[in-house]
Amino acid sequence: MYISAFQKPSLTSSLITWIKSQIENFLELFSKQICFINFDSDIYSNSMKIIKEQCKILNDLGIDMSFLFQNFEDNLKKKTESSNS
């Protein structure tokens, strides 16, 4: 869908760069908010569910940024495992 709106490659590239930076900013802020939340809690589970739903919306539009979320989730798990050791 977004490809039809952005015919020029430079515009498409700029859009993707902007989306990526916005997601990275969000994930950084989000990680600060959840640093004291138990990962088994409903708050954490519901938050992750909402983020995954938003990633799916972008994916349905032809913009796959799920790798950012996956990296975030993997890093979060590593931090948790290392702090529990």
Residue 63 falls within a domain, yes or no? yes
Let me know if residue 4 belongs to a domain: no
Range(s) of the domain holding residue 73: 9-84
In whole numbers, what is the pLDDT of the chain averaged over residues?
A: 83
Residue 5 clears pLDDT 80, i.e. is over it: no
pTM higher than 0.85, yes or no? no
DSSP 7-63: -SHHHHHHHHHHHHHHHHHHHHHHHHHSTTS-TTSHHHHHHHHHHHHHHHHHHHTT-
The total number of residues shown for the chain amounts to 85
Residue 16, pLDDT score: 85
Dist. CA 57–CA 51, nearest whole Å: 10
37 within a domain of the structure (yes/no): yes
The pLDDT assigned to 81 comes to: 66
pLDDT, mean of residues 37-62: 89
Task: Give domain status of residue 2, yes or no.
Answer: no
Number of domains in the chain: 1
